[in-house]
Structure 1
Amino acid sequence: MNIAAPNESTNLSPYLPDDHGLFFIYHFTADGLRTKDPAAARWTWRSYQITNMRARQEIGAEQALPAPVREAFLSPSHGCHIDFEDDWLYGDLPDLRHDFSEARGLTHFRFAFNDTTLIGARKQPLESVDKIRKAVESGSRKFPSPASLIEAVMGQSLDGMSGELDRMGDTLDGIEDRIVCDAWHNERQALVDARRHLVIIHRQMATLTNLFRHLDHSHRDDLPDPINDMATRLSHRARTLHHDGEQLQARTRLLQDELMAKLTEQSNQLLYILSVMTAVLLPMTIISGLFGMNVGGLPLVDTPFGFWVVTAISIVIAGIVYMVVRRLGRV
């Protein structure tokens, strides 16, 4: 069943799907270059919008796809996975949304391929897919097989996540400099945002590492050598990024601990000042309370300088208390 034939004569857009939910269809020769002649093609790449109903119907009716592959494509789940079935490698892997999309962040790229066909599907524009698409159109890179193109897409995705980790490292450098220079008062929210972003990327790297490990353990004897080699290379890169993410997360936790220590120190200083003020003012409060009672027999009531005498006594007592509290604070 050739589901791409109705679209080959139309002007497809890489960002807006046609009536069949198809973004583009590219044919490749044996040497890995794009050709506009389907008869000269060794393999084909089709890209769909997975939320388009026509696209879902056509993928569901694609008899060349094994039933588990079709079910994985049409599943509402957004969890990452990768598996091998009847010579088809298929999966759902993370990628970065394109810069011009509504919100920068991680989304998913679904794919399935064998020796002659690569089918991809996505919801939003993806940065890695778009970079590889531009390389295909310009002829700057050759893709002799679907496996080589998927490796390039995942390589671009890992490069993008590596760039995100580099930017987060620079952000943490700035936060650390300001904390060390005691200009940390506005860094609490920035540190929380940085850690939240790191958790998302680190979680995806951990997922990718586990997925490639599962693929190696479950299908090592079934996978063709090129796919085995591709999975090994991608697994190594994912493990490296996973390790880098762990280091950044550990660094973020240390910065949070240092920031909390400074907040605790500042709170302690404020509490110490309040304690000193309370201790200093306590004698004055007691004396003013005693002399404020409307009872007979109060001393110095008929003395012209009674107010000043009481004030002087209060100040002397407050000074003594202050010196005692300061001495105790230094012990």
Structure 2
Amino acid sequence: MDNIRQERLPGTNFVPVAISGLVWAYRFREGYAPEALEAGDVPGALLAEDGWLWLHFSLTDRLARDWISSLEQLPEEVRSLFMASDEPLGLQAGGDVIYGVIADFHSELAGESDHIGRLRFALSERLVISGRRHPLRSVEEIHRAVQGGLNLPVAGQLIETIIDRFCDAVARRVAAMTDELDTAEDRVVVDMATTERSRLINVRRITVRVHRQLSSLSSVLRNWHARPRDEKDKPAMHISSKRLADRLESLDHDMHTLQERAKLLLDEVAARQADETNRSLRALSIITALLLPGSMVAGIFGMNTKDLPFTDTEGGFWFAMIIGVAATAVFYWVLKRVGAGLRL
């Protein structure tokens, strides 16, 4: 339902034919299946007295942000949230509206993405407006579930479900990365460390990135749960912040464990690579040292000067070779006597 313009029908009561940037609109009523709305149905649904409305926007469309900023049902500070360029995680209350920014994975056609985006939302008893700059996986999953008949009785359950789906996605990544680390650890143990470095770097990169989001989001929900309660808090806007914060913190602990485990394995891989490099350098040094006496003898006999021995002697070449080998053997014996380690 992405549209690129906003038009109005002529008449006394102007009704939008298209709301620019509106990805989808749904009306939820108890006892009824979710109802997909066209742009022209949105004003009437906003005035209805039963159920609640979910409007989801693409915030890359400037006209979509303009439309939200003109929505009188939202306080000024809530509308400014959708106009701001930065997207720090947070959860606040303004009047009868809960609004904020939560994290979610990007939705990619090729499969699961490790990039994390932001979902901005405003939640009231009768209306939820959400917006993103990039398609988000958990939001898309809930959209498909709603298309399949999933009914959310109250508005607050939508945000709660989105965070739960985000937690499910993190849990899947924890399981997948645990398997990757198990495989990498087995290979490192059997001395195949070099092949596992890129795998470990990728796991550590993901854990660091996701850890920041989990820590921030759990802190946001924990602070929200600890806020002073208002007697006017509406049940329809309730978010199970404590349960979600506990789940996020548990996942964050798992992610931190994976991060430390990946770091230790990377350290072990680096140590083994350094040891392999040292062995190679040691072998090269020993070979170079053993070749020095012979090279010196060959250099002497290669000088174009008078009085070189064996120049006129029959079999002089072989005498020179014997001297070179003997010099190497004497040098090797001297190194052994002084206790120099010659093991490769």
Question: Do structure 1's residue 88 and structure 2's residue 97 form an aligned pair?
Answer: yes
2:247 pairs, out of 230, 233, 237, with 237
Map 1:1-331; keep pairs closer than 5 Å: 6=15, 19-30=19-30, 33-35=33-35, 38=45, 39=48, 41-100=50-109, 104=113, 105-139=115-149, 141-217=150-226, 219-222=227-230, 224=233, 230-322=240-332, 328-329=340-341
CA drift of 1:236 comes to: 0.7
Q: Which moved more, 1:300-309 or 1:321-330?
A: 321-330
Tell me the TM-score normalised to structure 2 length: 0.82
Deviates more, 1:176-185 or 1:52-61: 176-185
Residue deviations 1:96-141, cap 9 Å, x none? 12231799322111111021111111122222112212222322x4
Q: Which runs of 5+ in 2 are unaligned?
A: 1-7, 9-13, 37-43
Residue 50 (structure 1) shift: 1.3
State the identity as a percent.
31
| Corresponding residue for residue 15 of structure 1 | none
Code of the aligned partner of 2:187: R
Instruction: Please provide the CA RMSD for this pair.
Output: 2.8
Flag the 1:172–1:74 CA change in 2: closer, same or farther, 3 A: same
- Distance verdict in 2 for CA 1:324–1:47, change over 3 Å: farther
Answer with 120-129 or 256-265: which moved more.
Answer: 120-129
Residue 207 of structure 2 contacts residue 255 of structure 2 at CA under 8 Å; is this kept in 1?
A: yes
Measured in 1, the distance between the counterparts of 2:94 and 2:77 equals 8
Q: Deviations along 1:153-187, whole A, 9 cap, x unmatched?
A: 11001111221222222222222222222233333
Q: State how far apart, in whole Å, the 2-side matches of 1:103 and 1:153 are.
A: 16
For the 8 Å contact 2:160–2:239, the answer to whether it is kept is no
Report the CA distance between 1:55 and its aligned residue: 1.5
Query: 2:60 is paired with a residue of what secondary structure?
Result: coil
Change (3 A) 1:216 1:319: farther
State the SS of the aligned residue for 1:68: helix
The 2-side partners of 1:195 and 1:6 are apart by 52
Measured after TM superposition, the shift of residue 308 of structure 1 is 1.2
**1:260 deviation in Å?**
0.4
Alignment deviations for residues 33-89 of structure 1 (CA, whole Å, 9 cap, x no partner): 525794473211111111222221111011221111111111111322222221321
Q: How many residues align?
A: 317
Distance in 1, matches of 2:314 and 2:88, equals 87
Distance 1:222 1:261 in 2: 57
After TM superposition, the structure 1 stretch with the greater mean CA deviation from structure 2, 230-239 or 308-317, is: 308-317
Aligned equivalents of 2:234 and 2:92: distance in 1? 16
Deviation at 1:6, TM superposition (A): 4.3
Structure-2 separation of matches of 1:202 and 1:21: 32
Displacement after TM superposition at 1:324 (Å): 6.0
Moved more, 183-192 or 127-136: 183-192
1:307/1:101 CA distance change after superposition, 3 Å? closer
